[in-house]
């Protein structure tokens, strides 16, 4: 799935596809969204909070270091897509 979304993002950006005239790709994909950017910001804030919780859980020994590293890798991957 990650590869598909990455390819769509690159394809849309490179060919000038903006979706519906006057709207960006995001708005054309989520036509019923009333505040897409605001909702995405809330989702990223939630994601950041979960990542911080996982870091704390690693510190406390509640989850393994390997799990923490997986979450950290996902966090790094997501930063370029915000």
Is-contact 51 72, C-beta < 8 A?
Answer: yes
What integer best gives the mean pLDDT of the chain? 81
Across 30-59, average pLDDT = 93
Provide the whole-model pTM: 0.63
Question: Which residues, 6+ apart, have CB-to-CB distance to 57 below 8 Å?
Answer: 63, 68
**Per-residue pLDDT reduced to its tens digit, 3-41:** 665 665 555 555 554 444 555 767 778 888 888 889 999
């Amino acid at each position: 799935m990650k590869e598909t979304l990455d390819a769509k993002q690159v394809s849309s950006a490179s060919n000038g596809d903006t979706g519906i005239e006057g709207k960006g790709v995001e708005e054309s994909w989520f036509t019923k969204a009333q505040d897409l950017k605001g909702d995405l910001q809330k989702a990223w804030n939630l994601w950041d909070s979960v990542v911080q919780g996982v870091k704390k859980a690693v510190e406390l020994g509640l989850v393994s270091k390997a799990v923490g590293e997986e979450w950290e890798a996902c966090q790094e991957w997501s930063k370029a897509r915000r």
